[in-house]
Amino acid sequence: MKISAIITLKKDVLDPQGKVIHQALDGMGFKGIDEVRQGKYFEINVKENDPTKAKEIVEDMCKKLLANLVIEDYKIIGTQ
């Protein structure tokens, strides 16, 4: 089963890459932007057919490796 997870920087953590992307978009004419935050997206194919269990496995991965919880939040966003 394929599980997707998104890792984003916590709100109070500075995201210099997001800022630069914001400036570039602004320079290209995309004027209506308040803020850009960059994150990471993972698709993980786990050998588990029960969606609840599969999500739990990926959540454990997020806690232990994929995210650093001092600065990042994770969100399991879907199953396939």
Partner 1 sequence: MKSSVITFPGSNCDRDMDVALKKFGFKNKMVWHDDNELPKSDLVVLPGGFSYGDYLRCGSMAAKSKIMQSIINFAKSGGLVMGICNGFQILVETGLVPGVLLRNKYLEFICKNVFVKIDNKDNQYFKNLDKDVFEFHIAHNEGNYFCTNDQLKEIQDNNQVAIYYCNGDGNTDEKYNPNGSLNNIAGIFNKKKNVLGMMPHPERMIDKSLSGEDGSFFFKNLLNNIK
Please report, as ranges, the residues that interact with partner 1 according to CB under 8 A: 13-14, 16-17, 20, 65-66, 68, 70-71
Smallest distance from partner 1 to CB 50, Å: 26
Q: Which is nearer to partner 1, 17 or 45 (CB)?
A: 17
Q: Which is nearer to partner 1, 20 or 33 (CB)?
A: 20
Q: Which is nearer to partner 1, 43 or 50 (CB)?
A: 43
Starting at the edge strand found earlier in the chain, the sheet holding 39-45 runs 39-45, 2-9, 72-79
For 31, the token pair is 């004027």
d(CA 2, CA 52): 12
